Structure 1
Amino acid sequence: MISVALCTYNGEKFLTAQLESIKRQTLLPDEIIFGDDGSTDNTLSLLTEYKVHFEELGIKTSILPPSGAAHIVTNFERTLQATQGGIIFLSDQDDVWHEDRISQSVFMLENNPEVLLLHGDAELIDKHGHKLPQTLFEKLKYSHLLQNEANSGAAFDLLLQRNLVTGATAVIRRELLSDSIPFSQHWLHDEWLAIIAAAKNGYFVVQDELISYRLHDDNSVGLQKRSIRGLLAFFFASRRGRYEQLIDRMSEVERLAQQEDFKSEHVEKLRRAIKFNISRKSYPKQRLFRFPQIWKEAVNGNYRDFSARPVVEMLRDFLQSA
């Protein structure tokens, strides 16, 4: 059984295009679950209208009661849990699926039974639906070389450095969902599912563009371009709470690792990451006095192993205020 978990929040502007693209799939899903996050616009009316359309196509369709402005992670968790399929597609409200997204992904999963999470590239479009110059992976700097490394067993290490999975392109097996509940509130839903899939050697990335991913001013989570002001904040803002959050993130996965069949090297990597961030938390308030500790962590390989851009991260640790 194939399910779709589609989450919404005040999405009427682009929702119709997304719903129409699901209707046009060469392989239709068996079930669609809509999880609304307390919309105040016309979103629920559109979902009610399309519920009828999907049911006319033989697709079981449900609209969950509005959650009342829950966090996006919580909304996805409850919507995914409400599905019944063994294969579950994640869907945002503002993209456009390519017609073979479901058929192509299901084919890959059927031929790779060990895969728990599969995701792919996406065409980037603007708010008017016009194609943008880069693809999603090009924007993320997720090169073919890194993709091949991830598929060859390095996914866990890469995902500890940064999130490479955009949930709007992802499909998971129910087994992964069961292993991932409850979702962590310190991780986005897609990166949480991805890191657990990678820890279980069930991560797979395809180079194909599966959807058209829309960039606009109202993206809840996405590829927002950082302004000059944002760059300054990135390097000079207070680091208060930053390392605690990183420690919490790694600790949650490490606790889960003790209950699941994670490889011993993954567990050790998590413990190193926790120790690294505890060390960073203790850096002196005066910037010049931080340099010896930053250099020590660099020599030990921690910036290389736990940062996608080690030099940038070292500079950030040096410049940020206490």
Structure 2
Amino acid sequence: MQTMKISVAMAAYNGEAYIREQLDSIAKQTLLPDELVITDDSPDRLTEDAINAFKVTSPVRIDYYRNETRQGFPENFFKAIGLCKGELIAFADQDDVWMPRKLELMTAQFADPEVMLVTHKVTIVDSQLKVKEDLDDNHWSYVGTFEPLQTDPWYLLFGMSAMVRGALFRVTDLKVRPLDFSRDGLASHDMWAWFMGGALGKIVGLPDKLALYRQHAVSVVGAPKQSSLAARIAYSIKTGRSHYDKMASISHDRAKVLSQVTQPDLAARARAAETFYMVLYQQNADRASLYAPEKTLIERASAGLRLLRKAGYRPQAQGGFGLKALFKDLFLFLLVRRVA
């Protein structure tokens, strides 16, 4: 018996070509959601027309909202999530297709009150839903149940494969969320879900392929020009420093967000996660120092020793940089002042 209300959040934009297939697959779920919330960023009415045609026979309640001004993908999705009323929220992209038991299998995992996020594997297909044999979802490596802070905090989640507790989006002010480390702007909804889910509870990764993940045309990029070894090393030093400075800042901001979580059932885990991200802040700041040519040799060596003492090169799944990073840093440490 279903005891928790289920919402599906979808952010639409020029989705008329494929959205009907996705809507039909949601309507065929063995466990139907209580609502499907769609926020539409499209400049025309074509996506809305496709949704209205689906509504005629839909067994699912549809709450449709057309944005007066374009929100952009991240904010459009956050708007949809904010309008959801369910205790559980599944993210839906407009151009994928769900397997019939997706919601049923995912919802069952939330019988454990400590589970905050559930996700699954996917089948990668082309625009015509034909399996792309040259691609797979090895990007997704988590299968099983993982305790808080036992997954890579910087993992890039396939948002369309996730279901979360709605509480993850209600514990703090989302307008002041941390930056996204993979692009410009604030953290996306799926990055937020992985961050907060892994900090405040368990994450479950199902082995089942429960969605067809549609890939559109791929852009062709020309081959880069060849450059000298010294030029490549100098570029690695420059980008390395800016990257770790950014990651230090994001780690600090994540700790600040967690400090604002005061709900009695989540406060203890939030404090532990806050400490965890402050450690990541210091480790990223130290690693940035290794790549800073204006630092003295002693300052850079001290930063490296701190990283070693504080297990900064532990596995990435535990928030560290990994063993390969240690060898890279040892190599570049000797070259920073020479080529930077």
TM-score bracket, normalised by the shorter chain, equals: 0.7 to 0.9
Secondary structure at the residue paired with 2:174?
coil
Alignment RMSD: 3.7
Cα distance change of structure 1 residues 297 and 52 upon mapping to structure 2, 3 Å threshold? farther
What residue number does 1:299 align with? 308
Structure 1 segment 26-65 matched on structure 2, within 5 A = 26-40=30-44, 42-54=46-58, 57=59, 59-65=60-66
> How much does 1:241 deviate?
4.8
Instruction: Please give the residue correspondences for 1:44-193 in structure 2 after superposition, counting only pairs within 5 Å.
Output: 44-54=48-58, 57=59, 59-66=60-67, 68-109=69-110, 111-133=111-133, 137-138=137-138, 140=139, 142=141, 146-148=142-144, 151-153=145-147, 156-160=149-153, 162-179=154-171, 181-182=173-174, 184=177, 186=179, 187-193=187-193
Q: Do the aligned partners of residues 315 and 271 (structure 1) sit closer, same or farther apart at CA in structure 2, a change above 3 Å counting? A: same
2 CA distance for matches of 1:99 and 1:234?
Answer: 49
Which amino acid is 1:271 matched to?
Answer: M
**Ranges in structure 1 where 5+ consecutive residues have no aligned partner:** 219-223
Contact kept in structure 1, 2:123 and 2:137, CA below 8 Å: no
Shift of 1:16: 2.2
What TM-score do the two structures reach when normalised by structure 1? Answer: 0.78
Structure with the larger helix share: 1
In structure 1, the partner of 2:211 is 211
Render the CA deviation track for 1:129-154: whole Å, top value 9, x for unaligned: 1113478641x151xxx534xx242x
1:10/1:42 contact within 8 Å kept: yes
Does the C-alpha gap of structure 1 residues 213 and 180 become closer, same or farther in structure 2, counting only changes over 3 Å?
farther
Moved more, 90-99 or 18-27: 18-27
State how far apart, in whole Å, the 1-side matches of 2:125 and 2:156 are: 19
TM-score, normalised to structure 2, is 0.75
Q: Output the amino acid matched with 2:251.
A: M
Report the CA distance between 1:226 and its aligned residue: 9.3
Conserved 8 A contact 2:286-2:303: no
Percent identity for Structure 1 against Structure 2: 21
SS in 1 for 2:70: coil
* Aligned partner of residue 81 in structure 1, secondary structure: helix
The 4+ residue runs of structure 1 with deviation greater than 6 A are 224-227, 232-235, 286-291, 319-322
CA contact (8 A) 1:5 1:80 kept: yes
Compare 37-46 and 206-215 and name the one that shifted more: 37-46
Aligned-partner residue type, residue 54 of structure 2: Y
Q: How many residues align?
A: 304
Look at both structures and tell me which one has the larger radius of gyration over its CA atoms.
Answer: 2
Other structure's SS at 1:10 match: coil
